[in-house]
Amino acid sequence: MRALARWLGLLLCALALVGSAPVARADSLDDQVRQIAKQLQCPICESVSVADSPSELAGQMRALIRKKLEAGESEQQILDSFVAAYGDGVLTEPPRRGLSLLVWIGPVIGLAFGAAIVWLVLRAWRRAGSAEAEPSGVSRNGAADGVAVTASLDGTLGTGADDEYLRRAMGELERARRGLGG
Amino acid sequence: MSELGRIAVLFSLLIAGYSALAALAGTRARVPELVQSARHGVLAVCGLMTAASVMLLASFLTHDFSNRYVYEHSSRDMPVQMIGAAFYSGQQGSLLYWAWTLSIFSAVVIVQNWRRNRELMPYVIAVLMGVELFFTLMLGVVASPFERMPRLVSDGLGLNPLLYDTGMLYHPPMLLAGYMSWSVPFAFGIAALATGRLDAEWIRATRRYALVAWIILGIGNLLGSWWAYHVLGWGGYWGWDPVENAAIMPWLTGTAYLHSVMIQERRGMLKVWNLTLILITFFLAVFGTFIVRSGVISSVHSFAQSSVGPYYLSFLSLVIVGSLLLLFWRMPRLRSDNRLDSLWSREAAFVVNNLLFLGVTFAIFWGSVFPLASEAIQGSKLTVGPPYFNQTAGPIFLMLVFLMGVGPLLPWRRGTREHLVRILRAPVAAATLVTGLSVVFGVRQAPVAIAVWVCAFVVASISGEFHRGALARRSAAGEAYGRALLSLIARNNRRYGGYIAHLGVVMISVAVIGSSFFQVERQVALKPGESVEIGPYHVTYEQIHQRQEYGARVVEAPLRVERDGRVVETALPGKRFYKNFERQPASNVSIQSGPLDDLYIVLAGWQELAPNTPDPTGPVSLLLFVNPLVMWLWVGGIVLAIGTLVAAWPEPGRILAPATLPSGAHPAVGRA
């Protein structure tokens, strides 16, 4: 347990050192236009950003972005001006406000809901009665048990839980295979 | 020829319907002859659908433009292999392909189970033929590839330029077959519900069919990524397009299914859940086919709107309602046989695995339908693009990768925390070391460092499993290490095939991480002789030229590429203009691929002296990318396929039944 704590501590220190560096920004004007255009959705095409769209409107939008950059506007100002003109739908990343906040919350709620169900199921399993309660269940699984035996052997063999047991089991299996004229 | 094709489809429709009914009637009324004739019906449908497909292919190859579908999707100047591909390029042809491959798979399933699973098979036949009936109905009524043209024409329209690519030969048939092949495990699941034989029998019967469906769909998706990468020219391989999402969702739930059925096989738990999962997977597979083929959610893929919508919706509703009814009817019999012995067990890990897979599927589904929903609610359409999917699905995928490293180390039934800690020490140490090195060599973003750690951890964990197993074999059976490794895999092919597949997934993850976080892109305008630096490359533009190829005008801009001072091969990005599609050129993306990165160049634009004549002295506009580690995406896919093959391999004979020696024989003298 102590050792684990030490390793975890090391890991956390390492991560702290790394931190989150800003992504290197492009230098030329062309690249800057492209970076901004990538965050805007082409209003008339499907599933294509303004940066990648071959349409005329996208070309005009890219020219407008370039003009604004030359005039000294910041990236956020340019994006905001497009949102003012076309609405929130022009951004490829849905904003975290209003109705579109729901799209971000959805998966979180979904996972939390799922996790709750998993928790309940795991708890119910730990308390549930075993196969003895239903005799028909045993006979139905009679054939399955044969498989289960080799399967659980299979399971133990791979974990390295106990190397000595592993070696002995492997040896016995090998002898058995050979003994049957293999 | 078209007439024969149409008749073949019609007869398939009738016989499929007959087979489904005969199988059901035969098994309920205990008339084995009816079931037998239903079996023959399946084979007949296979023959008829093959005939219909051959007719259509023949129509294409002989340029029979009296067939409307052939006219709309091919032309005389197309190369032969493209004509073959044109078969499934349109809606009607791809439906025919789906129905044809389903008839083949159904026939194979029937033949393989001719004497086995006698109780389940009639219902399997009924379900498979029911699905076949639906598709042949659509083919016969609303989407026939055998319609006639009202007048004579000498040449066809040709194929959409975007489809003129080798990717077209592989991606659609794989993906469509991937969707289709989930019908088989689904049919067995329904059969299990109908017969009440709800233990692991149906799962054992379908293990290989499920693996085959899963790998076909997985490869179909990877081929789609490869195609997008080298055809669409935006520098990436996955755009979170609605149709892409519709293709990955059944694969994700299918992966969850592959894992959770192992719990039912070994411990008789999760019965309801496995049936639910296969139902969800089949539903998503048909839904995916629907999305691709009906243009309901428009995307790069929707080449035609159509009238098949109502048919699909009715079929999907029927599938859902029918399956749920069966499920509820059998619910009392679906109790778990065993209890959970410990939270530190593989059962618990598989449950978490399912939670994460279903979670990421839901996140993708949510993001895909949200624009439609927002339009319905507030009138304006919100865009849910790659940033959303990367930020929601990304972390969940990473957690799943982590689980790939922990899960195999957990034993079935009973593990302890101490045992887990002990066995995790080596992989954790190795992963931390690798991460440390990566930070030293330039990784500065926390998400990347975490991802590197997780991938290294999984590789270390899986390698440890191989190593321990090989050592044990070596000391027990006296084999050399290399031989021990091979026989370990051969004798435990399910387990170790799975590990190999997991390694393939790690390779894919590494490729995704590298190319997502370290991509460099530049857009430049270059005159002849000018050059640009990008990453480790120095690229010089030479001179633009034009040529003819297969009825297309090709404009190309040769570029000399140097890496670290040495000249690499010349890059040749360009654009192709096809007759009838002058305003929609296809891109020849130049990709120079290596284990470290890809140099990816698109010819975006150029000046013209006169219409259709590029100016050799003018500037060209180029889009350049350095995409690190993308090659490992494809290599990982191959490793994944190999692992699946190993896992699906027929197992060596089990030693459960003791052999009886004939009297008088001597048992083998013991060898020591």
Q: Which residues of A touch B371 (CB under 8 A)?
A: 89
Question: Using the beta-carbon criterion (under 8 Å), do A141 and B199 form an inter-chain contact?
Answer: yes
Q: Which residues of B touch A34 (CB under 8 A)?
A: 521, 523
Count interface pairs A-B at CB distance under 8 A.
240
Question: Using the beta-carbon criterion (under 8 Å), do B338 and A131 form an inter-chain contact?
Answer: yes
pLDDT of res. A10: 57
Whether B656 has its CB under 8 Å from any CB of chain A: the answer is yes
pLDDT of res. A8: 58
Write down the mean pLDDT value for chain B.
88
Give the distance from residue B257's alpha carbon to the nearest chain A alpha carbon, in angstroms: 16
pLDDT of res. B22: 95
Contact B15, B48 (CB under 8 A): yes
pLDDT band at A159 (very low <50, low <70, confident <90, very high): very low
Listed by number, the residues of chain B in 371-430 with a beta carbon closer than 8 Å to a beta carbon of chain A are 371, 374, 377-378, 380-388, 392, 396, 408-413, 419, 421, 423, 425, 428-429
pLDDT of res. B663: 52
Listed by number, the residues of chain B in 261-290 with a beta carbon closer than 8 Å to a beta carbon of chain A are 265-269
Asked whether residue B126 carries a pLDDT value surpassing 90, the answer given is yes
Chain Cα centroid distance, residue B275 = 21
Give the distance from residue B128's alpha carbon to the nearest chain A alpha carbon, in angstroms: 27
Listed by number, the residues of chain A in 68-107 with a beta carbon closer than 8 Å to a beta carbon of chain B are 87-94, 99-100, 102-104, 106-107
> For residue range B138-152, what is the model confidence (pLDDT) as tens digits?
999 888 999 888 888
Residue B599 parent element (H or E) = strand B597-606
Listed by number, the residues of chain B in 478-537 with a beta carbon closer than 8 Å to a beta carbon of chain A are 492, 495, 521-525
Chain Cα centroid distance, residue B123 = 27
B513-541: average pLDDT: 91
> For residue range B650-664, what is the model confidence (pLDDT) as tens digits?
876 544 444 454 555
B378-400: average pLDDT: 90
Q: Which residues pair with B522 in a beta bridge?
A: B624
For residues A53 and B637, the model is more confident at B637
B382-392: average pLDDT: 91
Give the distance from residue A142's alpha carbon to the nearest chain B alpha carbon, in angstroms: 11
Asked whether residue A138 carries a pLDDT value surpassing 50, the answer given is no
Question: Using the beta-carbon criterion (under 8 Å), do B300 and A115 form an inter-chain contact?
Answer: no
pLDDT of res. B150: 87
> B364-397 burial by CB neighbour count: b if 16+ within 10 A, else e?
bbbbbebbeebeeeeeebbbbbbbbbbebbbbbb
Question: Using the beta-carbon criterion (under 8 Å), do A115 and B413 form an inter-chain contact?
Answer: no
Quick check: helix, strand or coil at residue B293? helix
Hunting for tokens 């194979």 — which residue is that?
A: B108
Ranges of beta strands (E only) in B22-150 are none
pLDDT of res. B442: 81
Choose from B164-173, B412-421, B492-501 the range with maximum mean pLDDT.
B492-501
> Residue A156 contacts by C-beta under 8 Å, 6 or more apart in sequence?
A165, A166, A169, B411, B412
C-alpha to C-alpha distance for B664 and B625, rounded to whole angstroms: 77
What's the DSSP call for residue B596?
A: S
Whether B544 has its CB under 8 Å from any CB of chain A: the answer is no
For residues B370 and B107, the model is more confident at B107
What's the DSSP call for residue B116?
A: S
B184-213: average pLDDT: 91
> Residue B452 contacts by C-beta under 8 Å, 6 or more apart in sequence?
B434, B435, B438, B443, B513
> For residue range A40-63, what is the model confidence (pLDDT) as tens digits?
988 887 778 888 887 888 888 989
Asked whether residue B384 carries a pLDDT value surpassing 80, the answer given is yes
Asked whether residue B509 carries a pLDDT value surpassing 90, the answer given is yes
C-alpha to C-alpha distance for B294 and A151, rounded to whole angstroms: 45
Q: Which residues of B touch A177 (CB under 8 A)?
A: 655
Asked whether residue A146 carries a pLDDT value surpassing 90, the answer given is no
Looking at chain B, the whole-number percentage of residues with pLDDT higher than 70 is 95
> For residue range B577-595, what is the model confidence (pLDDT) as tens digits?
887 778 888 889 999 999 9
pLDDT of res. B669: 46
First to last CA, chain A: 47
Question: Using the beta-carbon criterion (under 8 Å), do A103 and B377 form an inter-chain contact?
Answer: no
Chain Cα centroid distance, residue B320 = 23
Residue B414: closest C-alpha in chain A: A156
Asked whether residue A171 carries a pLDDT value surpassing 70, the answer given is yes
Choose from A92-101, B33-42, B226-235, B339-348 the range with maximum mean pLDDT.
B33-42
CA-closest candidate to residue B277, choices B176, B365, B398, B358: B358
Asked whether residue B3 carries a pLDDT value surpassing 90, the answer given is no
pLDDT band at A123 (very low <50, low <70, confident <90, very high): confident
**Burial group, residue B665, by CB count within 10 angstroms (0-12, 13-18, 19+):** exposed
Q: Which residues of A touch B411 (CB under 8 A)?
A: 155-156, 159, 161
Whether B668 has its CB under 8 Å from any CB of chain A: the answer is yes
A9-13: average pLDDT: 57
Asked whether residue A130 carries a pLDDT value surpassing 80, the answer given is no
> For residue range B276-334, what is the model confidence (pLDDT) as tens digits?
999 999 999 999 998 876 655 544 444 445 577 788 888 999 999 999 999 999 888 77
Asked whether residue B42 carries a pLDDT value surpassing 90, the answer given is yes
* Backbone φ, ψ for residue A173 (5° rounding): -60, -45
Residue B444: closest C-alpha in chain A: A18
pLDDT of res. B283: 95
pTM of the model: 0.86
Asked whether residue B399 carries a pLDDT value surpassing 70, the answer given is yes
CA-closest candidate to residue B95, choices B194, B190, B13: B13
Looking at chain A, the whole-number percentage of residues with pLDDT higher than 90 is 7
CA neighbours closer than 13 Å in the CB half-sphere of residue B178: 29
Residue A133: closest C-alpha in chain B: B337
Asked whether residue A144 carries a pLDDT value surpassing 90, the answer given is no
Residue B658: closest C-alpha in chain A: A180
